[in-house]
Amino acid sequence: MLKIDCLVSGGVITNYKCSSKCKHCCYASSPEWPNDYMTPSMADEIFSILKSLGCHYVHIGGGEPLLQPDKIFAVLESAQRNNIDIEYIETNASWYRDEVSAKIILKELMKYGVHTLLISIDPYHNEYIPFWKVKALMAACSEVNMGVFPWLMDFWADLDAMDDRKPHSLDEYARFFGQNYLLELPRRYGLNLKGRALKTYKPMMKKQPFEQILKESKPCRLLSGIYHFHVDLYGNFIPQSCPGLSINLSEVSHGADPGKYRVLYSLESIGIGGLVELAIKEYDYKPKSEYAGKCDLCYDIRSYLVLERKLDLPDLQPAGHYKYI
């Protein structure tokens, strides 16, 4: 059985649709996603289960959760009903229009117990969002005593060196700061190389022979981790550090059937070797000669199952993660 008895800290993904299609996004959020948002009934179910598993606080993320501020209030109200505290809401500041309208939204958030915004500050987001919006949102937060968790202040000087009235591509940053700038970004950001981030940096990663990766196969224990998990608007429990894999939250809390979640169970019990065997024997997967590590091989198999074989597997949800990469 795939079962988790306790969860400590994590996040709730209210939507995958985003104003940006950032190259570092491990959740593959983008404007291409449907305009779905977590419903009040789903929020109640999720927060109730999280509370029963010992999780007393979460952060809210997306996508961009404040693209539809009118819909986030019902989610926050549900968190209050279930005695779940909100650590912070993640935002890229794209929704900022002017000080007056921003303050109205911020004050409303504070009524629901939200006291901190994590505001993205990095070159990846700056490809889509001019820096003036970040600065203005931070100023508005200060005006209403909303706390700010800047992620990351290490990049403030970099962004401030550019014209803050318009977005700037990563190529512009490379021309301004030197070609090594892009190579250093993952380390400086602390990047999780999954999802679109893996796609972005895969060409720069060292390749390993397929057989060598199999030889080093070990059970993937992160899949049952109790820290920094996420639950999305569809009720999918997403293991820490590994978007694109999922178990229905209500099932994982009671014990999910390994026969139903065969992809995830193969990885959790055997490792990448188990998934390779499953994919070759049952789905005619043909391995390449080399990959940029085990995670690249894993992602290649999962993408093949969803995009080429058109399989609707319960542990590879939502399918949009692969479609909108």
Distance of alpha carbon 320 from alpha carbon 325, whole angstroms:
8
Q: How confident is the model at residue 227 (pLDDT cuts 50, 70, 90)?
A: confident
- Asked if 60 and 149 touch (Cβ cutoff 8 Å), the reply is no
Q: Which residues pair with 88 in a beta bridge?
A: none
What is the reported pLDDT for 223?
78
Beta strands 208-209 and 290-291 are antiparallel
In CATH terms, the fold of domain 9-206 is: TIM Barrel (3.20.20)
Kindly report, residue by residue over 30-61, the tens digit of the pLDDT: 999 999 999 999 999 999 999 999 999 999 99
Tell whether the model's pLDDT for residue 222 goes beyond 80: no
Only one residue has tokens 């709730």, namely 12
Domain locations in the chain as residue ranges? 9-206
Four-CA torsion 186, 191, 197, 200, nearest 10 degrees: 10
Read off the pLDDT of each residue in 75-93 and give the average, rounded to a whole number.
Answer: 98
Residue 225 has pLDDT above 90, yes or no: no
Place of tokens 């109730």: 48
Confidence (pLDDT) at 82: 97
Spatial contact of 13 and 63, defined as CB atoms under 8 Å apart? yes
Residue with tokens 């994919």: 279
Write out the E strands in the chain: 9-13, 57-61, 85-91, 116-120, 147-151, 208-209, 227-232, 236-238, 247-248, 290-291
- Reading the block at residue 292, the tokens are 């940029």
Decide if 199 contacts 325 (C-beta within 8 A).
yes
In the prediction, which pLDDT does 11 show?
96
The model's pTM is: 0.96
Task: Give the pLDDT confidence of 124-164 residue by residue, as tens digits.
Answer: 999 999 999 999 999 999 999 999 999 999 999 999 999 99
5 band by pLDDT with thresholds 50, 70 and 90: confident
Both structure tokens of 245: 């894999």
pLDDT-based confidence at residue 287 (cuts at 50, 70, 90): very high
Can you tell me the mean pLDDT for 201-223? 94
What is the average pLDDT score of the chain?
96
SS3 165: coil
The model's confidence at residue 254, banded by pLDDT at 50, 70 and 90, is confident
For 11, 50, 225, 241, the CA distances from 249, given in Å and listed in that order, are: 13, 9, 14, 17
Give me the percent of the chain exceeding a pLDDT of 90.
92
- Asked if 121 and 153 count as a contact pair (C-beta separation under 8 A), the reply is yes
